[in-house]
Amino acid sequence: MGLIPVPEHSANVYFGRENFNTPFITARKSFYSVKVKVIGMRQDINSSWVQ
């Protein structure tokens, strides 16, 4: 884990692209994305993180 600095407060983060290695960050007035070296894990849309 780490921090990705953006110039304003973030509202949401979604990891996307083919390897889930691009966080898409939404903020009040902007949209940010940056490719990272770590490959993410896909969550099945029918499953839940909370049990």
Domain presence at residue 45: no
Domain count within the chain? 1
- Supply the pLDDT for residue 31: 93
Q: 1-39: string of b/e by CB count within 10 Å (b at 16+)? A: eeeeeeeeeeeeeebeeeebeebebeeeeeebeeeeeee
- Supply the pLDDT for residue 37: 86
Q: How far is CA 44 from the centre of its chain?
A: 16
Domain that holds residue 24: 1-34
Domain presence at residue 49: no
Domain presence at residue 48: no
Q: Mean pLDDT, to the nearest integer, of 4-14?
A: 88
Domain presence at residue 11: yes
Note whether 23 and 14 are within 8 A (CB).
yes
Domain presence at residue 44: no
Domain presence at residue 41: no
Q: How confident is the prediction for the chain on average, in pLDDT?
A: 81
Report the candidate in 34, 31, 38 with the shortest Cα–Cα distance to residue 23. 34
